[in-house]
Amino acid sequence: MADSFDVLTPLVTPFDADGDLDIAGLESLVRHVSAAGVDGIVPCGTTGEFETLSPQEYRTVVRAATETAPDDCRVMVGTAATDVATVHERMAFADDQGADSTLVVPPYYGGQASGAGNEAFFDTVLADAPLPVYLYNIPGAVGQELSVETVAALAQSDAVAGLKDSSGDLPYVTAVMNQTPEDFTVYQGHDGLFVPSLVLGGDGGVSALSHLLFGELARAGTAVASGDIEQARAVQRDVLSPLSEACAEYGFAPTVKALLADRGIIDHATVRPPRASLPSDAVESVTGMLE
């Protein structure tokens, strides 16, 4: 069971009503989550709609996030791409901007890669990596699972710091923790499994709900660390899981943006295609859950 934990925020990317980047909104959002107490931020991840950003927009978001984050807030930059050259280019840029680590997914086009193929991809990505790398298992978005065996093999590299898992598969997380070194960090990316992962020995979460509910996540994590499983279970059951289920139904970026806009933390809940904004009845439902 974890006696300490981290909570990192996978930042949404604010857009204005026309769908253009809202950099002032992004900077304000970084200040908001940092003031709440999160341990780190993750710009240009899945919740950040990275795949909808132009190369220039990507660099603008990374630069703004790293420059705005205070010194005690770590920055893990999403550097996903289908080709190794772009991953390396993004890693180098993140390093130049002062990021602390990067987050890399398996290849997400071309079907189910073999274990050997994924290892070869990551081995090439890890060559001369300027920053610690976190592997990212998100089969629902990528189209394939990063196998436990591949994670265990890659975990032997000094360049690999850990894993973010957003599969929603708790046995998978358990197997990874059983087959990787003690200092290999395992972050839960599925808010509905935050407490169960901590109980099993996970290191925390990269939590979309931390945009608004860092206090509840911290309360649950502290309860696990102190052995108060009933308290942790109550937070998970009554607060985190219902909102996580809503995010899974409507999409994490649209749902979180709707909540942030309702609270006046960002100006607009705009998302880019292929994501769609929440209908008004869904906005009313999720904001009611937050209340």
Residue 223: the pLDDT is: 97
Q: Where are the domains of the chain?
A: 6-214
- In tens, the pLDDT along 117-151 reads 888 999 999 998 999 999 999 999 888 899 999 99
Name the binding residues for pyruvate: 47, 206
Task: Output the CA torsion 246→264→266→28 (10° steps).
Answer: -120
Q: Establish whether 136 is a catalytic residue.
A: yes
Name the binding residues: 47, 206
**Catalytic pick among 58, 136, 172, 187:** 136
CA 48 vs CA 3, 62, 192, 225, 245: distances in Å:
30, 11, 19, 30, 19
Residue 252, CB-side half-sphere exposure with 13 Å CA sphere: 25
**Catalytic pick among 58, 134, 164, 187:** 164
The two beta strands, 133-137 and 185-188, are unpaired
| Residue 3 burial class via C-beta count within 10 angstroms: exposed 0-12, middle 13-18, buried 19 and up | exposed
CA 251 to centroid of chain Cα atoms: 14
Three-class SS of the chain: CCCCCEEEECCCCCECCCCCECHHHHHHHHHHHHHHCCCEECCCCCCCCHHHCCHHHHHHHHHHHHHHCCCCCEEEEECCCCCHHHHHHHHHHHHHCCCCEEEECCCCCCCCCCHHHHHHHHHHHHCCCCCCEEEEECHHHHCCCCCHHHHHHHCCCCCEEEEEECCCCHHHHHHHHHHCCCCCEEEECCHHHHHHHHHCCCCEEECCCHHHHHHHHHHHHHHHHHCCHHHHHHHHHHHHHHHHHHHHHHCHHHHHHHHHHHCCCCCCCCCCCCCCCCCHHHHHHHHHHHC
- In tens, the pLDDT along 156-197 reads 999 999 999 999 999 999 999 999 999 999 999 999 999 999
User: Amino acid letter at 277?
Assistant: S
Instruction: Tell whether omega for the bond before 181 is within 30 degrees of 0, i.e. cis.
Output: no
Give the homologous superfamily in CATH for domain 6-214. Answer: Aldolase class I (3.20.20.70)
Q: Establish whether 257 is a catalytic residue.
A: no
Mean pLDDT score of the chain:
95
pTM comes to: 0.96
Residue 97: the pLDDT is: 98
- In tens, the pLDDT along 43-88 reads 999 999 999 999 999 999 999 999 999 999 999 999 999 999 999 9
**pLDDT bracket for residue 111 (50, 70, 90):** low
